[in-house]
């Protein structure tokens, strides 16, 4: 099922170059500086539950596709608010997925799943109604073995470092447990403060009060709130964090006076803030986080663009992260200017930008990253974490920003078993891109070998300040 | 002139795959669920007039290109308002086209015309000043034969079903005549209400009054107007219609209270409505049409984006549809939300989306279609109904939306003789895309064969509710 | 280092076609209708200074990339306002560039520089810390020879005509000197009035007064200002100018009454104008320039999109044109409408459009250019003057606008030594595009040969009204 030349260019000359490049980078360890795996897995190292709960129910890529073709969240086992009836039988859920496997043809889910099924579970044919039960049994059996426990997967995948993404309100107990454990795997947290920087987050005011309590600061005042963040960031840093992460609907930043900031905070705390004030608050908090980074060295990630919870009905019944986050146009050139003018030339700062608006790659992001010393381009994200998406990313950014203003690969996954599949695809696509450059005599093959190593390994470590640590 | 491998990838390995895929789908019948051919042709089955009147004068792709290079509408025979002098000699018009045939190099007009000239009229060389008269004579002669009459072309092209696009104010006399005729061809109408849903349409208020008269409803009230639509849709359904079609400058939808709707209707009827009110009225009418579809089952098509009649001078002298409709940026993610939140999860609804803003393919349209069960993506439209346009459509939508959230091909043509040429190109490009997937081991060739049949035949029938009928 | 097949497709069949096409156009003379070389070079024909001052310090592509990776403008020798210390040693600057040459991998700077170094200076290996001194010495020595003086380069490159870009306030002394010189090279000026049409230009009001003085008109009144422009344009025309050039943040045009224009002029002269008034003034001036073109025949170039001087700090310390101009989204369809409705159908007018927003190529620019007789598409610009950028330009515009609504190539360079490199790349990419068309049987090879000549030579001469003159 997995062809050794998958994702390489069809042209025999280019394919041969891609093979040579890939051969050198395939054995490199995996750097995973951004993702959404659960630190509890590595802390507790428990066996995973049934195949559907592991591979289908938590995966919004899969849920949305099946829902788009008429299946219901309930029959896919997705928890419903209010506790309405839902499918609890993992085998029944797996059968529905297998019967509809054709829907995923030529999508990344298909590529990741084929790789995972074959390499971890020895399941070789594409899934179908016919082999649903057999594949379910095989996977269920494998999940009872030690080879499929979280730490074993981490080691099997040759992961050098993995960062999770953690609410700034998280007690980090799992990360502490990992640090204290008799296990060599490096799993570190990432500071994600969206629940207290986005006034539209559920429970925003209460969240801020909780931040205050956790840090002994008065988070109901501007200065107190900033101090609270500074303290909490230190807690994360103590457990190895090198980065913060910010998920915003736009890339809007602000650089307001302290008095205006205080007014804004009181407005958003009152629950009466206008949409414009909420947006300004989010924007100001990005600039504040950048300022904190100057002192504590956390690399800042900005994931801008998604309009979250587009379907009110899905959000109200099934909650967030169910596949109904839809991207929109994003204006980086105007929105980032306040932050960049405030701190964009300070050599202590790194800001890694992610977009869901590919029109911005060549028009805004590559020109910005190829000018401001603090900026790096994060890899193709979410909907574009796919063969063509990754290829467009390279095609649309490289001629302006080069390779060295990019930040390597992120697997960005909630699905631990798919991590190797995702890195495998990214490495192959980068080799395909480089093979094209070499075959058209735009780059020497010796240089392409160097670049391939950098894209796979070096740049991620450098962008996320992981070099010293390793 | 027509190479058997046209539009297939140049790489020999990919080309061989494309050939194998195409061989299986080439003989499939044509499904034509959206287009602008004239039902009178099939009702009356008259001989076509001279070559220029058939192939050039009504074709806005051709007129705009020749005008862009300095020719005048008058010398191309395009009817002028006010009755100014214009070229009436078909041969002279044909000569101007032939002399300027190089302007169309690498454009779809060239591909369609070459196919049409060779397959229908035996004209083999590219047109030129030199062969203009000869080709004109050949075509003129052929048009006097029964083989070139509308029904003969329909059969020759192996059309299984063809939908025209008809004003909701049309009396459908031609469609009735076709239904009553002793002819097996299936030609059905499509409900297009723009003249009464767009307050900027010429004669908008009078049109609405006429809708009221045709249905016996009081179209000057909100409820009466909706009732009038419901009745008129039944007239179309009785003649086989399975779809409505909506051409709007944006994708804006609304979900207003009935009181606000009534106020809006009165404002647009008064002729004093603001641009914002007109836009809101169009948006509300889309949601109303979607609600009607829940009951009567018509599939809804939304063609959003063109700024119509960009040149005031051309519009005033030569009227609409003369090639001066220019697309603009389109925001589907915010604009469709009211409609989707109102009825987007109802399994009775299908909405097929068309765009002229390719930036929306990957950013908005594929994510929306891969989530909401009602949404399907219409094929590459208008300016993008071309080899590279179709290829970009697949490349930019497939990895997120898969194949099964797309709606097959539409020829969308006003030019009956070009129908086969358009389907031929679309099928070849889909095979080229699939060959790329197979050659890079992203999809099995057996699966690609299935997909090719679906893209060519099955998906169009399914999306337009044509399955039961066939 | 320079492979004879560079930039040609890797597929052997396509490559062979590309070679055949290129063989015919490689010897054609260079038409350079738009660029930023210094007329003083050709007037004085002095020897160039050291390698760094010639090849690095004035090149914003190079400076921004090095700055983006942490080097300072000062250590690259970029003049600082206020006279702070900066690197004056050309060899030290050259070393920094050579050490960081990997940053430019797969960017146009690399392609241009490799070509220039090998063909002009015999430097063959990619630059590196190792060969920095040796390459510096070779270049420095070559620059002392007559073969590297400006006129010799002009002749060596086989330039048929070169246009510079000159402020409307320039005294054109260098152009007069060139005209009077005993030298056959054709170097002509281009009328660039931004300093008096953009109220945000430094010294705007003083600039306008100076325009008045130069022409004997009262530039403080609307009519007087227009008269001043008309006179100044004649001065340029007398020295061979065939075009004006307009660099604007947007494509906004206006068509206001004379009274409104007068009010607008007084507002912008007062220094109290709002941003909206400044934008309206720029927009109105574009329409006025188009009207003047109807009479004096100057072809109008519109370079729209860059947000200039994005970094306040860089602008204040190092001035404009330092690599911190970042593009933004550009709306041509609405913005150009006033100008097009005023004069867009007048056959005396040619407007050549350039964009930094590739999303507009297929959505707006190609449809506009394939309709309005006055419009032509300028080549891929600035960030997109690169192999993939040029290829996307052809792919995204050709199917709608064809080849004959485009304006050939511009090298657009400030770097005289790179002119041949730039034309070489453009010709090769056009051949690669055409080879793809031929290999997929979309265009006959005989026709592709004609098109290749047109794209390389004919179209630029035609678009810029250079045909009569040659």
Q: Supply the CATH number for residue C413's domain.
A: 3.20.20.140
Top residue of B10, B59, B118, B316 to mutate, by most chain C CBs within 10 Å, is: B10
Looking at A147, A177, A196, the residue that finishes a domain is A147
Assess whether B141 and B154 both reside in one domain.
no
Q: Cβ of B249 under 8 Å from any chain C Cβ?
A: no
Rounded Cα–Cα distance for residues B79 and B318 (Å): 6
Instruction: Find, in chain B, the residue whose alpha carbon is nearest to that of A9.
Output: B440
What does the mean pLDDT of chain B come to? 96
Instruction: Give chain A's mean pLDDT.
Output: 96
Asked if the ipTM is above 0.95, the reply is: yes
For residues A339 and C311, give the distance between their C-alpha atoms in angstroms, rounded to a whole number. 10
Chain segment B149-203, per-residue pLDDT in tens: 999 999 999 999 999 999 999 999 999 999 999 999 999 999 999 999 999 999 9
**Residue C466 in 3-state DSSP?**
coil
Closest partner residue to B326 (CB to CB) among C11, C364, C444 is: C364
Residue where a domain stops, chosen among A126, A147, A168: A147
Put simply, the answer to whether C383 touches A367 (Cβ < 8 Å) is yes
Query: pLDDT for A432-449, tens place per residue?
Result: 999 999 999 999 999 999
End-to-end CA distance of chain A: 36
> Do the chains contact at A371 and C323, CB–CB below 8 Å?
yes
Q: How many Cβ atoms are within 10 Å of A102's Cβ, its own excluded?
A: 17
- Confirm whether A413 is domain-assigned: yes
A372 and A346 Cβ atoms separated by less than 8 Å:
no
Looking at the complex, does the CB of residue A328 fall below 8 Å from at least one CB of chain C? no
Residue C122: pLDDT over 90: yes
The closest CB to that of B70, out of C333, C369, C373, belongs to: C373
Instruction: Domain of residue B171: give its range.
Output: 149-463
Q: Are C334 and B327 in contact (CB < 8 Å)?
A: no
The answer, yes or no, to whether residue B20 has pLDDT greater than 70, is: yes
Does the beta carbon of A126 lie under 8 angstroms from any beta carbon of chain B? yes
CA distance C366 to chain B (A): 9
**CB proximity A450 to C under 8 Å:** yes
Mean pLDDT of chain C: 97
Q: What pLDDT, on the 0 to 100 scale, is given for residue A468?
A: 63
Contact list, B324 vs chain C (CB under 8 Å): 371
Same-domain check for residues A428 and A327: yes
d(CA A224, CA A218): 5
Task: Give the phi and the psi of residue B353 in degrees, each rounded to 5.
Answer: -105, 135
Q: Which of residues 391-410 of B touch A (CB under 8 A)?
A: 395-396, 398-405
More confident residue, C421 or A84: C421
CB-based contacts of A220-227 (< 8 A; 24+ apart in sequence) = A220/A265, A220/A269, A221/A262, A221/A265, A222/A258, A222/A261, A222/A262, A222/A265, A225/A196, A225/A265, A226/A288, A226/A292
Q: Most distant CA pair in chain B: distance in Å?
A: 66
Judge whether C7 lies within some domain.
no
pLDDT above 80 for A84? no
Across the range B242-249, mean pLDDT stands at 98
Cross-chain CB nearest to C399 (options B69, B106, B358): B106
> Could you say which of C334, C373, C395 has the minimum Cβ distance to residue B328?
C334
Neighbours of chain B (3+ CB pairs under 8 A): A, C
CA distance B163 to chain A (A): 25
pLDDT at C469 over 80: no
Interface contact C326-A371, CB threshold 8 A: yes
* Within-domain flag for C387: yes
| C441 closest CA partner among B423, B420, B432 | B432
**Closest by CA position to C201, among listed C265, C247, C235, C150:** C247
Chain A residue with CA closest to B17: the answer is: A10
Task: Categorize the per-residue pLDDT at C83 as very low, low, confident or very high, splitting at 50, 70 and 90.
Answer: confident
Q: Which among C329, C362, C403 has the least Cβ separation from residue B106? A: C403
- Regarding whether B124 and B78 lie in a shared domain, the answer is yes
Q: Is residue A469 part of a domain?
A: no
Distance, CA of B64 to CA of B325 (rounded, Å): 10
| pLDDT at position B468 | 63
**Is residue C155 one of the residues assigned to a domain?**
yes
Q: Which residues contact B145 (CB under 8 A, 6 or more apart)?
A: none
Q: Interface partners of A (3+ CB pairs, < 8 Å)?
A: B, C
In CATH, what number is assigned to the domain containing residue B56? 1.10.2020.10
What token pair was written down for C107?
A: 């960017």
Interface of C with B in 335-394 (CB under 8 A): 337, 340-341, 344-345, 347, 359, 362-364, 366-373, 375
Determine the pLDDT at residue C468: 64
B359 with A356: Cβ contact below 8 A = no
DSSP three-state, residue B188: strand
Task: Examine the pLDDT at B469 and tell me if it is beyond 70.
Answer: no
Same structural domain, C299 and C211: yes
A279 min Cα distance to partner chain C (Å): 21
Among chain C residues, the shortest Cα distance to A401 is held by C65
Range B143-148 average pLDDT: 98
Q: Is residue A291 a contact partner of residue A56, using CB atoms and an 8 Å limit?
A: no
At A304-313, the pLDDT tens digits run: 999 999 999 9
Cβ distance of B311 and C440 shorter than 8 Å: no
Contact check, Cβ <8 Å, B337/A310 = yes
Nearest to C402 among B11, B107, B126 (CB): B107
Q: Note whether B15 contacts A: Cβ–Cβ < 8 A.
A: no
pLDDT tens for each residue of A86-97: 888 999 999 999
The reply to whether residue B369 touches residue A68, judged by beta carbons under 8 angstroms, is yes
Arithmetic mean of pLDDT, B252-276: 98
A9, A362, A404 member nearest C383 (Cβ): A362
Percent of chain B with pLDDT over 70: 99
- pTM of the full structure: 0.98
Asked whether residue B470 carries a pLDDT value surpassing 50, the answer given is no
Whether residues A392 and A424 share a domain: the answer is yes
Closest CA–CA distance from residue C67 to any residue of chain A (Å): 6
In the predicted structure, residue A470 carries a pLDDT above the cut 60: no
Domain boundary among A97, A120, A147: A147
Residue in chain C nearest A16 by alpha carbon: C10
The tally of domains found in chain C comes to: 2
Residue of A nearest to B392 (CA): A388
**Are residue B113 and residue B174 in the same domain, yes or no?**
no
Separation of alpha carbons A412 and B104, rounded Å? 46
Q: Same domain, yes or no, for B201 and B276?
A: yes
The model's pLDDT over C411-464, given as tens digits with 9 standing for 90+, comes to 999 999 999 999 999 999 999 999 999 999 999 999 999 999 999 999 999 999
CB of C146 within 8 Å of any CB in chain B? no
Q: Is there a domain that residue B58 lies in?
A: yes
Give which of A329, A441, A463 to mutate to test C binding, by max C Cβ within 10 Å. A441
pLDDT band at residue C82, thresholds of 50, 70 and 90?
Answer: confident
Closest by Cβ to A68, choosing from B364, B405, B441:
B405
Tell me which chain B residues have a C-beta less than 8 angstroms from the C-beta of A7. 440-442
Question: What separation in angstroms does the CA of B126 have from each of A346, B419, C16, C434?
Answer: 62, 20, 24, 17
The CA–CA distances, whole Å, from A444 to A152, A434, A467, B257, C421 equal 39, 10, 27, 65, 18
* Residue B316 exposed, middle or buried by CB count within 10 Å (0-12, 13-18, 19+): exposed
If asked whether residues A66 and A206 sit together in one domain, one would say no
The answer to whether B67 contacts chain C (CB < 8 Å) is: yes
Residue C44: per-residue pLDDT: 98
Residue B85 forms contact with C (CB below 8 Å): no
Q: List the single residue in C with minimal CA-CA distance to A15.
A: C10
**Per the domain annotation, does A1 fall within a domain?**
no
For residues B440 and A8, is the Cβ–Cβ distance under 8 A?
yes
B11 vs A10, A310, A323: nearest CB = A10
C420 and C391 within one domain: yes
Per-residue pLDDT tens over the stretch B379-400: 999 999 999 999 999 999 999 9
**Segment C368-396 mean pLDDT:** 98
Q: Any CB–CB contact under 8 A between A7 and chain B? A: yes
- Shared-domain flag, residues B96 and B208: no
By Cβ distance, the residue of A11, A362, A368 closest to C358 is A362
Closest by CA position to B331, among listed B353, B360, B289: B360
Q: Tell me, yes or no, whether B453 lies in a domain.
A: yes
Clarify whether residues A283 and A392 are in a common domain: yes
pLDDT in tens, B213-228: 999 999 999 999 999 9
A65 and A52 in a common domain? yes
Residue of chain C with shortest Cα separation from A12: C11
Asked if B70's CB is within 8 angstroms of C371's CB, the reply is no
């Amino acid at each position: 099922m997995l062809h050794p030349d998958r994702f390489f260019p069809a042209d025999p000359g280019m394919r041969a170059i891609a093979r040579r490049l890939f051969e050198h980078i395939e054995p490199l360890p995996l750097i995973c500086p951004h993702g959404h795996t659960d630190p509890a897995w590595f802390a507790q190292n428990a066996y995973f539950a049934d195949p559907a709960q592991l591979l289908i129910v938590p995966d919004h890529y899969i849920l949305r596709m099946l829902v788009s073709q008429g299946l219901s969240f309930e029959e896919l086992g997705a928890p419903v608010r209010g506790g309405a009836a839902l499918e609890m039988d993992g085998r029944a859920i797996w059968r529905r997925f297998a019967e509809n496997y054709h829907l995923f043809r030529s999508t990344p889910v298909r590529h990741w799943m084929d790789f995972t099924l074959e390499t971890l579970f020895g399941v070789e044919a594409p899934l179908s109604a016919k082999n649903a039960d057999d594949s379910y049994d095989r996977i269920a059996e494998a999940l009872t073995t030690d080879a499929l426990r979280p730490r074993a997967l981490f080691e099997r995948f040759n992961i050098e470092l993995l960062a999770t993404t953690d609410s700034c309100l998280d007690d980090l107990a799992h990360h502490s447990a990992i640090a204290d454990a008799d296990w060599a795997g490096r799993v570190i947290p990432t500071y994600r403060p969206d629940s207290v920087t986005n006034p539209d987050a559920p429970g925003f005011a209460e969240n801020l009060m909780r931040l205050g309590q956790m840090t002994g600061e008065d988070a109901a005042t501007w200065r107190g709130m900033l101090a609270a963040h500074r303290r909490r960031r230190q807690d994360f840093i103590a457990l190895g964090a090198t980065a913060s992460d910010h998920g915003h609907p736009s890339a809007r930043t602000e650089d307001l006076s302290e008095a205006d900031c205080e007014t804004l905070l009181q407005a958003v705390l009152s629950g009466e803030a206008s949409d414009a004030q909420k947006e300004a608050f989010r924007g100001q908090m990005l600039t504040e986080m950048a300022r904190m980074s100057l002192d504590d060295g956390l690399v800042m990630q900005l994931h801008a663009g998604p309009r979250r919870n587009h379907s009110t009905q899905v959000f109200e019944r099934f909650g967030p992260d169910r596949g109904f986050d839809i991207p929109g146009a994003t204006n980086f050139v105007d929105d980032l200017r306040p932050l960049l003018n405030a701190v964009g030339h300070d050599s202590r700062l790194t800001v890694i930008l992610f977009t869901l608006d590919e029109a911005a790659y060549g028009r805004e992001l590559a020109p910005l990253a190829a000018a401001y010393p603090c900026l790096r381009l994060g890899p193709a994200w979410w909907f574009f974490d796919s063969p063509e998406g990754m290829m467009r990313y390279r095609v649309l950014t490289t001629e302006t920003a080069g390779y060295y203003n990019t930040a390597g690969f992120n697997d960005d996954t909630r699905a631990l078993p798919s991590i190797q599949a995702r890195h495998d695809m990214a490495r192959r696509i980068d080799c395909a891109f480089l093979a094209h450059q070499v075959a058209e005599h735009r780059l020497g093959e010796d240089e392409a070998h160097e670049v391939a190593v950098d894209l796979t390994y070096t740049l991620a470590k450098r962008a996320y300040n992981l070099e010293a640590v390793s």
